[in-house]
Amino acid sequence: MRIGIIGYGLRISHLFGDLAEKNLDLRIVAIADPKKDEIRSQLKGESDHIRLFGDADEMLNSVELDGVVIGTRCNLHTEMALKVLKRNLPLFLEKPVATTYKDLFRLKAGYEASDSQVVVSFPLRNTPLVKLAKEIIDSGKIGTVEHVQAVNNVPYGGVYYHSWYRDERITGGLFLQKATHDFDYINYLIGHNPEAICAMKSKQIFKGNKPVGLMCKECDEKLTCQESAIIHPDLGEYCSFGEDTGNEDSGSALIRYDSGMHASYSQNFFARRGAGRRGARLLGYKGTLEFDWYTGELKINMHHEPRVETHQFDVNAYDGHGGGDHKLLENFQQIVQRTGQSATTLDDGLRSALLCLKANESATTNTFRTIDWNV
């Protein structure tokens, strides 16, 4: 199946590289990216059968495609998605699906007018860990889930302050960057609709008075700073303590659902090493289920009998987001071949992005915000 890619960045090149080795019947035949010459060098001999364009419209107008992948920077996701939706092509869309209310409403309207099926890049709900959690929850083993405590302590959080991610005009902030995944898997596991949200965010670490645009290699503290890109070259090039460093470095939210239960979620971007954690504790009257992607452990504590069940996943046995990435690719292939339905629809992506935008609004205004399409 012939696919085109709009925005061939690190995430998409990792996800869609070596498709044949991943036993997928997908073939990249075109890429649209302003950095097409750089990409040509990156692909080397692999680019012989791939047409490269500097503009998305040119690619879409010039090449017959079975499906399209969008992996641009975040603030362009909506604009590019609308181009594809107008053509009713199967679409793989990176998250967040939108970074502003204006784009969210535009995308919702474009989706409702289109026949496209869309796979949103939400790998966490596709992981074996969450699939098992969903199976156990739906069985009634722990009772109805009446409370959720979720956490994401990001040990590689420096990337959001050293690289282009530091620009909130592009990212929309870190609820949209990270929590969009977590809100989605929580919604999926409990099967209820969010009604209201309140949130707080703070910036206590990654701030300072270093000059605008300062790069680590130019700083006189480059050999001693714990966040130096000289010491951690994979994080990015810019000083994370500059006046122009954007993004909060921790955030928390409370979400009320239509059943009356609520979920708490907290994320942090200066935890390091063994402090990294991502997972949730879901409590019912009969028992508590908890899991963590970093350890690969899912545990069930029964409340009314002295019994604990533990399931251990080999975290090294899965590639890409605990095995979720490959499931996304398989699902995209299904919608391209018209043999299946999306498991992470644009409805899911819109709902998660709306939650994140409402969380940002709540944190800014110190108010509860209703989860509806009235802004």
Which CATH number characterizes residue 136's domain? 3.30.360.10
Give the pLDDT confidence score for residue 229 in this predicted structure: 86
pLDDT tens column, 102-159: 999 999 999 999 999 999 999 999 999 999 999 999 999 999 999 999 999 999 999 9
Residue type, 135: E
* Same domain for 143 and 229: yes
Per the domain annotation, does 280 fall within a domain? Answer: yes
Is residue 198 located within the same domain as residue 332? Answer: no
pLDDT at position 178, please? Answer: 97
Token representation of residue 168: 């909130």
Quick check: is 323 in a domain? no
3-state helix, strand, coil in the chain (%, to 5): 35, 25, 40
Confidence (pLDDT) at 321: 86
3-class state of residue 336 by DSSP: helix
Residue closest to 309 by CA, chosen among 88, 139, 158: 139
303 in the same domain as 337: no
Pair 186, 311 in one domain: yes
pLDDT tens digits, 21-74: 888 999 999 999 999 988 988 887 666 789 999 999 999 999 999 999 999 999
Q: What is the pLDDT of residue 87?
A: 98
Which pLDDT value is given to residue 285? 98
Q: What CA–CA distance (Å, rounded) separates 98 from 349?
A: 9
Low-confidence ranges of the chain (pLDDT < 50): none
Paired tokens of 285: 């009257």
Q: Are residues 222 and 94 in the same domain?
A: no
Domain of 306, in residue numbers: 124-318+351-370
With a CB cutoff of 8 Å and minimum separation 6, the contacts of 206 are 160, 161, 240, 241, 245, 247, 249, 269, 270
For residues 99 and 190, membership in a common domain is answered with no
Whole-model pTM: value is: 0.95
Task: Write the CB contacts of 202 (distance below 8 Å, at least 6 apart in sequence).
Answer: 248, 249, 250, 251
Quote the pLDDT of residue 233.
83
Contact 194, 187 (CB under 8 A): yes
99/175 same-domain check: no
∠ Cα 325 326 332 (to 5°): 95
Q: What is residue 256's predicted lDDT score, i.e. its pLDDT?
A: 98
133 located within any domain: yes
Residue 269 forms part of a structural domain = yes
SS3 116: coil
At residue 47, the pLDDT reads 64
Identify whether 375 is part of a domain.
no
Asked if 307 and 188 sit in the same domain, the reply is yes
Q: What is the C-alpha to C-alpha distance for residues 138 and 130, in angstroms, rounded to an integer?
A: 12
| Domain total in the chain | 2
**262 and 157 within one domain:** yes
What residues contact residue 200 under an 8 Å CB cut-off, 6+ apart? 251, 252, 253, 363
